[in-house]
Chains A and B, each alone.
Chain A
């Protein structure tokens, strides 16, 4: 079973090689691009699932790239935490490429090979960042993901160019902060391997250099995840990106950054250091509250569907950062669960926005009129996701809130609980506003009720399928959230906090 043994590496190697293949074959025949990307991402999903299955069976896997032993060589370490995140990334990107086919043909007809090449490279970067157990290797993959992200966003119209440029500047600052932090760590310890760092660092917790290193890394990932007030690059970049790009970057990039924050906090430093030695939990939870409230209010102010969704991402990042920094077992479990749930929900919402753009050419809220009649199936899927965003049981969104609120209660951070509830209520307003527009407009006569000219005009299957699969998945994951938390997530929560 060589495939089985090599699955952690295959995760990254398959999409990486497919990028070259797409580039080369795309020169001859651009119709080959999609099948190659599709097969590559399907194989990646298989490898990710296999990896997670291995972790569940036999515990964490350490994989040495090229056979070099750590701490000298690069080590991939897959445990329950990143096993779960890897499957999420692979699953979402697989569905995103299915959605992308028609969307790209319509929005970017002359950039198809470029799109698919960058797409699989971005997936490579995200998977690599998640899988690696090496702090510097993480930086390299972070840059791969970031650079391809900038390029993908810039594929959009002129406004996307400006937005992408802003993103380049802030994203680069973020990456530099991270690198600088890792540099500090290297100078102090002489190691870049996370497991190695975890054992060396405790002796150095009292030093100022380590404190600075931690802050630099933290600020770096905060910039990357658009944590308030470092979120300014995100709304425009994700709004004006092509639909298919939005479906990949919006659900995954911020979530992977949250994962990295958790990884650095728990596996490079330790829960003892970040929660007890540093007295930062209070202020950071307040900052998360601010992110949630700010994102929610900004989302209310938007009349552009995609922009509204981008501000919701800002709010949801607040959920996860706050959840982790509550420093309780429930809070961390909730934050990790929300990485999965939010990736799926955001994916669905951007697919929905993409379908609207595909069908109507716009993505303003006013473009949504009459959608319940035109696209009943799409709207059914959307409604499920909307309920999950609001937090109605038994959808997944309810259960991440459940854990996060329990975490807030456990930590006594009632302001965080209130912020979560306010955000739920704001989401209710936001999504029922959309439901109102799609259900009540254009106006029709009382009783006759036959608004003319509206006939069923459903989205194409390849766009609809990802939406429906994930919408159904949200319900299934919701019902099994207890199982997921007990069997997967709780392995990643520091023992002292359970």
Chain B
């Protein structure tokens, strides 16, 4: 393995931040403004993709921006794990930008310039987290993401947005300042560094009880991962425009949470240390509790976006579970699930938004017979559902397969049961929606039989992500190879 000094990671982070300037400047010409967004998105994706071959060959790209404190720098490092996450977020940003145009213009939303600007900032922060070389840099971008998302969550500027915004920041900022910051400082004080290392930096520094407390502070502190009881911000954040929910609250923000947990478990603690202290099992149960509870709550939600939100909470804990099982297959499954769940869930959110744009409906009980009216959208919804449930022929199957194998490998049969039970629950809260949309008597149907889809800007993106979800079943290599490589480094290094 070779370390290459390259400015590319920095550029990949900065490009969307720099794009804020032209986006604001061309605020009065919407087409121009969106062109900047696309340009930034394509450059960002291009930069990320251009680093893939190097990473797959086992190299690591590194760039140090500035050494802020002695031994503590704002530093980027592109390794397979970060690359996987960056690839997911940067590719989906382009799709979501197209969808944003359809959605925001379809509803004639206000303050679109602000919307696109903060979206770009949020993406910079996301890639920043993906490429962070140490916990300090990650914390910096983590906080930047929390703050950049606030104006997006509260976009409508009404009372509901205000209270949701409060909840959002209350949970996310409260936990990151209250838990992560002190835990990070204690780690730094004892270890003298915060760099992610293959087998962690904590070995021998603390007693087991202190180690447990620190671990819990990190895991709950990254509340973006939605581990109960710090999940309540996610359903509240559904007040945001749907593209925000789609990209940020199904992909970027929440995955930053689980990615951070993944990094801390593997890079700060190290799998061997966690195994020797038997701390993984504790985390498994925490994740399992969230998986099951969130799925049960999702069953009872009538708001489509709220149901999706609770589904997301459950699915995020799959990834945490993958990390906590600490076995190679489970780690691989968890990492691949970052990608697979992203493509599936973003499709579902975009469908929810398309339904809202076309019909103004938000509640599942109002969607009987909608399949006749919006067949393309609902077919995509089916694909997304299958992927999240983990059924072939969708990408979700692959990641769930590895997670299940991982439970066997780690000899955690309880977790196996949890995963399978959760799949059943997922099916129970998704499939009825699809079934009622297509199969109902003409009297029951709430829509005319005439086909009337949302504008193409809305429909095309969700079709693309649905096709990707299927494609990833047959061709999961890019993400799978990166995940295997990452696990090799974690376990073998």
| Chain A residues near B (Cβ < 8 Å) | 387, 390-394, 399, 402, 405-406, 409-410, 417, 421, 424-425, 428, 432, 436, 439-440, 443-444, 446-450, 478-482, 485-486
Contact = CB atoms under 8 A, between A and B. Distances in A.
B72 A482 contact: yes
Interface of B is mostly: helix
Contacts of B69: 399, 402, 481-482, 485
A447 B143 contact: no
Contact of A481 (B68, B147, B159): B68
B434 interface: no
Contacts of A390: 173, 177
Given A417-B182, A421-B181, A481-B69, A410 B189 contact: yes
A481 B72 CA distance: 11
B39 interface: no
Given A428-B177, A482-B68, A482-B69, A436 B147 contact: no
Interface in B431-484: none
The 10 A-B residue pairs with the shortest CB-CB distance, nearest first, are A449-B110, A482-B69, A393-B140, A409-B189, A405-B185, A440-B162, A392-B143, A424-B177, A482-B68, A446-B158
B157 A439 contact: yes
Interface in B120-178: 136, 139-140, 143-144, 147, 151, 154, 156-159, 161-162, 165-166, 169, 173-174, 177-178
B140 to A, nearest CB: 4
A316 to B, nearest CB: 17
B111 interface: yes
B186 interface: yes
A387 B68 contact: no
B1 interface: no
Which interface class (under 10, 10 to 19, 20 to 34, 35 or more) fits B? 35 or more
Interface of B: 66-70, 72, 74, 107-111, 136, 139-140, 143-144, 147, 151, 154, 156-159, 161-162, 165-166, 169, 173-174, 177-178, 181-182, 185-186, 188-189
Contacts of B72: 482
A443 B169 contact: no
B158 A421 contact: no
Given A393-B140, A436-B165, A425 B174 contact: yes
Which of A393, A410, A417, A478 has the most B CB atoms < 10 Å from its CB? A393
B110 A436 contact: no
Contacts of B156: 446-447
Nearest to B143: A392
B184 to A, nearest CB: 9
Contact of B185 (A394, A406, A432, A479): A406
Contacts of A428: 169, 173-174, 177
Given A409-B185, A482-B70, A486-B70, A444 B177 contact: no
B186 A409 contact: yes
A267 to B, nearest CB: 26
A486 B72 CA distance: 13
A387 B185 contact: no
A447 B177 CA distance: 34
A421 B162 contact: no
B68 A421 contact: no
Contacts of A432: 166, 169
B74 A394 contact: yes
B162 A436 contact: yes
